[in-house]
Amino acid sequence: MLGVVMTSSTAPAAPYDPWFLGTPLPLPGTPDGVETATLPFTHFTVVLAPERRLAIVTAANLDGASLVEIDRGDDWHLDPRVPVEAQTGPEVYARNDLDRGHLTRRRDPVWGERAVAEQANVDTFSYVNAAPQAALFNQGELLWSGLEDYVLEHARTYAQRLTVLTAPVFGDDDPPYRGTRIPRRFWKIAAWNDGDPTDPVLAATGYVLDQSAQLDAIDLSDPPGATTAAPTLGAYLTYQVPVVDIATLTGLDLAPLVAADRLPVPTTATPADLRRGAPGLETRWTRLTRASDVRL
C-alpha cells in the first residue's frame, strides 16, 4: 500500500474532515489487497487505485452556506505526488468524444475564504479526480451532477453541510481503452446531519449512474494515430440504491453510511445480484428521471 502521499509544497490547508458533520465519518476502508494512495486536497481527499489508474473513492466536505462563485477554468493537470503511469492522463481524452468527468464535483469544495476556495477549484482539476465519461450532456447527466443541490434544498441538513463520496464502480466488464478501462457505472453517497450539533444524527442516500448503454456494440479498438470518435456511451441512467449495495459493488467499508441509509434496505444482495441486467435489479433500485424522485 502506498498510503498517504503528500509533500510540503502540496499540503492542503484543510483536506477532507471526517468530523465535518459533527459525527465521525472516516474515509472508507478499501478492499484487502488493493494498493491505494491517499491524496489530500482542499476540502476533499482522493483515494487512488494505481492499478486501475482511477480513484476508488473520493470524499468531499460541502458547506452550502459558504460557497464561493469562482470562474471555472479548465487547467487539468497531473498530480506530482504519484507516478504518471498511475493516473488516467490527457492521452486517454485526446482525439475522441470522452470527457474528463469530475468525480468530486467542481463546486462542492469551493467554499470558505476566497483564497481557499480558489485553491479548491484548482485542485478539482487534477487528473486523479477525473474519470472517462461520455461527452453527452443530457438530462441524465444533469440529474447526476445536481443530486447534491437537491439534498441541500430538501433534506434537513444542519448548517447546510454535506459530505459527498463518489467514484467509479470497478467492473470486470469495463472495456479497455488506451491503457485504462472505462467505467460503466459510478456511485455517489450524500451524507448529512439530520440532528443538531449536540445530538448529531447521520443520514445518507446512495446513487448509481450507468453509462453503459450501447457500449457493447461499439468497437473500442484504437490504432495508433487514430482520430475517429471513441466510445459514445449512450444515455446515462441514474438510480437511487441501498447504500449496502454500493458497499457490495465496491468492496468498501461503508458501515456508518449503511446504518444511516434513508432508503429501506431490501434483502441482502450478492455481487451477482447487482450485475448489470440481473433479474430483479430494476425493482430493487429506483430509477430516477427527475430530482424529485429522490427519497430523503
Identity of the amino acid at 179: G
Residue 232: name the closest of 276, 287, 180, 177 by CA: 177
Residues 6+ apart with CB under 8 A from 273: 280, 281, 284
User: What is the per-residue DSSP string for 77-139?
Assistant: B--TTS-GGGS--GGGGTTSSEEEEESS-TTTT-BSSHHHHHHHHHHTTBGGGEEEEES---H
Cell of 176: 479497455
138 belongs to an annotated ligand binding site = yes
Q: Exactly one of 43, 77, 102, 154 is catalytic; which is it? A: 102
Q: Let me know if 154 is a catalytic residue.
A: no
Distance in angstroms (rounded) separating the CA atoms of residues 153 and 171: 33
Our CA angle for 36, 203, 69, nearest 5°, is 75
Annotated binding-site positions: 138
Q: Write out the catalytic residue numbers.
A: 102
Annotated binding-site positions for Mg(2+): 138
